[in-house]
Chain A
Amino acid sequence: MEALSFEEAFAQLEAAVAALQDGQMPLERALHYYEEGMKLAQHCSDLLEKAELRVQQLRIDDDGTPVLEPFE
């Protein structure tokens, strides 16, 4: 889960909530979704707290291909 981007984690969180809305699933699965969902929510919050805008600059390499380099 650590590797998930905010968008991915958020999408999964939404999916977990949607899944839980279906009351017909087995308890074990419901608990699984709940626990996963709570972890995803925490992960999302953590990402939001820690996020830092990354800025790079594009330039054209000697062989004409665009390459990224740090900005500032």
Chain B
Amino acid sequence: MLFLDAPSVLSVSQVSRYLKELLETDEILQDVWVRGEVSGYRMYPSGHCYFTLKDAEAQLPCVFFKNARMRSAAPELRDGMAIAANGRISLYERDGKLQLYVEDVELIGEGALFLRFEQLKARLAAEGLFDASRKRPLPASPSVIGIVTSPQAAALRDMLRVLRTRYPLASVILSPALVQGAEAPAAIAEALDLLNEHGEAEVVILGRGGGSIEELWAFNDEVVARAIARSRIPVISGVGHETDFTIADFVADQRASTPTAAASAAVPDIAEWRAHVVELQQELTEFMDAFLSDQREQLERTRRDLLRLNPQYQLERLQQRLDDTSALLQARIQYILSLHHERLRGIALRLHSLSPLLTIARGYAVVRRDADQTIVTSMQQVQTGDQLTIQVTDGHIHAIVRR
């Protein structure tokens, strides 16, 4: 309290101004080249760019104003780029922040992180860890889904929301892990191993929401890559945004662009199943109908067959055959009879034409000697007193020879 009024006590503004002055009068700091890696790069609508230059031990906030950008021939910046930035270092008093006011930028090759990334990627690729033949098919409808992520993360809520909507039939086993920071790679690997040890999950989603390249860096760690490779359970990676590719993506059995996309890829959509069930139900009814109509048709056919074989029909048919045959017989006999009749008539006619009766009718008579019934045709045959019978057309006359 005593020194409040002492002249040696400075206000924040005073000390800030003093610092600023010190910095801005330093020759080195007023025109300096700083080498580092771009991180947290943001461009505002104003056209001003902000980023951090960093190396393994330290970081320096940078601002690259629109005018300075326009003046320079600086390349388009992105995170992970290794650059050398030229400018002056000063204090941004409002935030008490020391920053580099960039005037120019030069690339100095690939950023160290990316270099490591490329080296690890090449090494693992050479080992065959990314081979298509290693990729295992995902189960079509997993009943247990493992998730490796941070329990607090928004990514987890997003994934659970997708799973709840698309496929609530499943159950989820969360294997919690830190997903950023130095501990993250080991934690992720351990969480994945734990799911394998537990053994119930049929597919694992390795997820983390979007972030800076450093925040996603754990998924570029060899420890994580190895854990994915040795997982007996197929792994879907869903790390960051669409544009982020991590080593984990290459090793995973399937890469999804985001945690949400990974959750979608892990399960079928219940809506499709619903439709499928209805479809099957219809098919079932259709087949049953077809089956029944087929059976009905067969029954009808058999019924007709049976009818054809009915003994009543047999009997009637036999009866008809009998009728037909007896009619034929009748006709035959009629014919034969008529034939005989004809012949008889013929003979009768001939007989008739030869009949002596005809002669008698013409006035001739037949004379028989009673004694021996011989027909008298000559005088020599009779003597007086012989009794004769004279046959005429309508009877017999008995006579006695007188001389």
What residues of chain A have their CB less than 8 Å away from a CB belonging to chain B?
A: 5-7, 10, 13-14, 16-17, 20-21, 23, 27, 30-31, 34, 37-38, 41, 44-45, 47-48, 51-60, 66, 68, 71
Contact = CB atoms under 8 A, between A and B. Distances in A.
B173 A48 contact: no
A66 B201 CA distance: 13
B274 to A, nearest CB: 6
Which A-B residue pairs are the 7 nearest by beta carbons?
Answer: A54-B171, A20-B287, A51-B168, A66-B198, A41-B281, A37-B284, A34-B288
Nearest to B191: A58
Given A17-B280, A30-B291, A66 B274 contact: no
B174 A14 contact: no
A55 B290 contact: no
B340 to A, nearest CB: 68
A57 B284 contact: no
Given A6-B169, A53-B172, A58 B291 contact: no
Given A34-B284, A51-B270, A57-B174, A66 B197 contact: yes
Interface string B137-168: 00001010010000100000000100110011
B151 A71 contact: yes
A6 B176 CA distance: 28
B72 interface: no
A25 B173 CA distance: 45
Contact of A53 (B141, B160, B276, B295): B160
Interface string B276-315: 1110110111011011001100000000000000000000
